[in-house]
């Protein structure tokens, strides 16, 4: 049974993603990353803190040498609203805990500052990783999380792939397009040609997914074509294309990416980082550690079939 986050669970967050990560929990749609307005983790759940723990993380020059886990025994009322079995447990990562075992949490309570963890790439903003475990399951193991859904509509954004670099990071370039249709209000995400709001790392992670709110019209785009439901679930075999190239097919709870490359001005880059956002700073995030895309430079993106697609793992 999936755990469905009610809308107020992400009220304090400007962005979210279920699939934009190489880790198995995200591959299976069993975790969600929540990106805060400021560098503080706000509780998306209510319950009692069971345990906090410091854990090791991959050694990265840009990241802290350790991460942190907060385990929360969820209130029965929160479980009821989320369609979860009473006794379900929440796991929160990437926050330095300023809460202690026995503390009672309400939705929106401050958990502590976020931390730049070696569990995520340099182009990834600080965020709160949230997963759930069934009653009686081991909450400390890395595997075994329940499927997660988010009860929030995400507006699909049609875009032609043209933009200008507005910001440059060490391993990414942020474009000034596409433009958010309702900044500060609803969530929105880059849409496939069929109108599916897309989630994940295209195509540097093995798979991605969809957000709720997009509809897939009838047609024959190289696979079954159906409709995305309110949680972004697609009929098995539903195809998704971007800029005229098929990029993936619905499989399980997400999309299995086709072997494709993302091009910026005709040259291959690592990929596109896809997420749902409601902040005015929304724009395409191009992952390009080996490319010089300068602020003010015009960029034209494309997707093409590949014999040797980039796939980043967890090592």
Domain range annotation of the chain: 3-150, 154-305
What CATH class does 3-150 carry? mainly beta
pLDDT at 225 > cutoff 80: no
pLDDT at 134 > cutoff 50: yes
Q: What is the DSSP letter of 7?
A: G
pLDDT at 216 > cutoff 90: no
**Separation of alpha carbons 121 and 62, rounded Å:** 9
**Integer Rg of the chain from CA:** 19
The model's pTM is 0.93
For 8, the 3-state DSSP assignment is: helix
What's residue 63's pLDDT?
85
Q: Which residues of 26-53 are buried (b: 16+ CB within 10 A; e: fewer)?
A: bbbbbbbbbbbeeebbbbbbbbebeebe
Return the biggest CA–CA distance within the chain.
56
Label residue 122 left, alpha or beta by phi (over 0 means left) and psi (-120 to 50 means alpha).
Answer: alpha
Residue reference for tokens 């934009």 = 20
Q: Give the rounded percent of residues in the chain with a pLDDT score beyond 70.
A: 94
Q: Is the peptide bond before 203 cis (omega within 30 degrees of 0)?
A: yes
What's residue 219's pLDDT?
44
Render pLDDT for 4-60 as a digit per residue (tens, 0 to 9): 999 999 999 999 999 998 888 887 899 999 999 899 999 999 999 999 999 988 888
3-state secondary structure 226-258: CCCCCCCCCCCCEEEEECCEEEEEEECCEEEEC
pLDDT at 61 > cutoff 50: yes
pLDDT class of 228 with cuts at 50, 70, 90: low
């Amino acid at each position: 049974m999936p755990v469905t986050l009610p809308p107020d669970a992400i009220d304090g967050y400007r962005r979210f993603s279920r699939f934009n990560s190489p880790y198995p929990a995200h591959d299976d749609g069993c975790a969600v990353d929540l990106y805060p307005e400021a560098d503080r983790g706000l509780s998306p759940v209510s319950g009692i803190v069971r345990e906090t723990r410091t854990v090791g993380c991959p050694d990265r020059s840009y990241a802290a040498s350790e991460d942190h886990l907060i385990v929360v025994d969820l209130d029965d009322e929160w479980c009821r609203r989320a369609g979860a079995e009473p006794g379900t447990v929440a796991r929160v990562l990437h926050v330095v805990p300023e809460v202690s075992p026995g503390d009672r949490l309400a939705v929106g309570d401050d958990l502590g500052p976020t931390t730049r963890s070696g569990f995520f790439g340099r182009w990834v903003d600080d965020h709160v990783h949230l997963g759930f475990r069934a009653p009686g399951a081991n909450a400390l193991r890395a595997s075994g999380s329940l499927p997660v859904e988010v009860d929030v509509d995400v507006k699909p954004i049609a875009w032609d792939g043209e933009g200008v670099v507005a910001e440059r990071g060490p391993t990414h370039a942020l474009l000034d397009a596409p433009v958010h249709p309702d900044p500060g209000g609803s969530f929105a995400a880059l849409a496939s040609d069929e109108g599916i709001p897309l989630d994940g790392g295209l195509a540097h992670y093995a798979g991605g997914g969809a957000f709720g709110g997009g509809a897939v019209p009838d047609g024959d785009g190289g696979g079954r074509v159906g409709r995305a439901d309110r949680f972004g679930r697609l009929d098995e075999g539903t195809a998704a294309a971007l800029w005229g190239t098929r990029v993936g097919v619905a499989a399980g709870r997400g999309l299995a990416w086709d072997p494709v490359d993302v091009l910026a001005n005709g040259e291959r880059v690592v990929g596109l980082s896809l997420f749902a956002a409601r902040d005015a700073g929304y724009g395409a995030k191009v992952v390009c550690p080996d490319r010089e895309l300068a602020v003010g430079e015009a960029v034209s993106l494309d997707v093409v079939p590949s014999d040797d697609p980039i796939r980043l793992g967890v090592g």
